[in-house]
Amino acid sequence: MSDALFDPHGILLRRDAVARGLDDNWLARMVRSAGLIHVRHGAYADPAVWIPATPVERHDLRARAVMQQYDDRVALSHMSAVVRRGGPNWGLDLSNVHLTNLFGRGDRIQAGITHHRGVCRAGDVSRTDSHWITSPARNAMETAQLSGRDAAVAVLDWFLNNNLTSTDECSPLVDPLMREWPGSIDLGARLALARPKRASVGETRTGLFLHDWSYPEPDCQWRVDRPDGRIAGVVDFVLHREGLMIEFDGQIKYGRLLKPGQTIADVIQAERARERLLEDLTGYRMFRLVWSELERPAELDARLRNAIANNLRVRAS
């Protein structure tokens, strides 16, 4: 089948196929023969694109199909707009594509689309890929309003960390714009928990763990310099009074550090050498945690408090 049938993202709409002289029988035969993937009502995808795609990528493909099927009366919004921007998807419900109607209609779920109705002011939407998308501030806050707390703060952190918006831009959306929206009662509290220096979902969840278990507010992305002024490293979190540096470890983090020819084991060894250097330069100890420990916060709290107690005893001796 000619690649010219598909748009640049691998999508074919029924209406475009019909305009080329291809009828519903042809589309049905192509689906049965696995030449097309039926992704939603009136939309198909190139199997070479759809089959290897991740669930998040498939959500975005469906969103692209939906936006082609609708006119300029709607904007891509909420979780779907976060995905389009490349934001974090951890904890987000991606079962439906999310649209906001720009002319006051909405508030329904139909055919795999969640339609939202919300007042859109000047500056609340912008153009991307030939359609409307809610602005970064609006997108961050509307997604935070519909998500669980940790996922909401992770989204807010990402928007702030990437300088797509600011707390000053987000705060006015809490009241009065979103005051009456379902689930918005604690939206201001979620924004107050966001920190622009947290650079990953793992760091967000670590920061929230420290907050929930009553640790002091840590410094984020704390820079450690060598005596000659060269940078030795940047630490995820530091508790100065406790003399403890805290880092979240994850396979994705280590993957970003890989250089050509290196393995994960090489990166971990290099990280351990970096850890010893940072400890020598600061006199602080390093505490590392992994994703699975965040699922057992009471055990993590006990381990962290034990590390702090041991470190304070050593420093006092």
DSSP notation for 231-269 = EEEEEEEEETTTTEEEEEE-HHHHHHH--TT--HHHHHH
The sheet carrying 285-290 orders its strands as 219-225, 231-239, 244-249, 285-290
Q: Does the pLDDT value for residue 253 go beyond 60? A: no
Reduced to 3 states, what is the DSSP secondary structure of residue 179? Answer: coil
> Phi and psi of 247, rounded to 5°?
-130, 140
State the pLDDT at residue 3: 57
Nearest to 76 by CA among 67, 89, 87: 67
State the Cα–Cα distance between residues 289 and 299, nearest whole angstrom: 11
pLDDT digits (tens, 9 = 90+) for 156-202: 999 999 999 999 999 988 876 666 666 667 899 999 999 999 999 99
First to last CA, the chain: 76
137-141, 158-162, 266-270: the lowest-pLDDT one: 266-270
State the pLDDT at residue 75: 95
State the pLDDT at residue 177: 60
Nearest to 210 by CA among 304, 310, 275: 304
Non-local CB neighbours of 35 within 8 Å, separated by 6+ positions: 1, 47
Q: What is the mean pLDDT of residues 99-121?
A: 84
Non-local CB neighbours of 3 within 8 Å, separated by 6+ positions: 46
Per mean pLDDT, which of 15-29, 178-192, 237-251, 254-268 is the most reliable? Answer: 15-29
Q: Does the pLDDT value for residue 257 go beyond 60? A: no
Q: What is the CA radius of gyration of the chain?
A: 24
State the Cα–Cα distance between residues 196 and 156, nearest whole angstrom: 8
Reduced to 3 states, what is the DSSP secondary structure of residue 313? Answer: helix
243: amino acid identity, one letter: G
Domain-wise residue ranges, the chain? 3-50, 70-193, 201-316
Q: Tell me the angle at which helices 201-212 and 297-316 cross, rounded to the nearest 10 degrees.
A: 70
Give me the CATH topology for the region 201-316. Endonuclease; Chain A (3.40.960)
Q: Does the pLDDT value for residue 266 go beyond 60? A: yes
Q: What is the mean pLDDT of residues 297-310?
A: 97
State the pLDDT at residue 279: 95
Tokens of 90: 């951890």
42: amino acid identity, one letter: G
Please tell me the pTM assigned to this model. 0.90
Q: Strand 244-249 to strand 285-290: parallel, antiparallel, or no bridges (unpaired)?
A: parallel
State the Cα–Cα distance between residues 93 and 112, nearest whole angstrom: 12
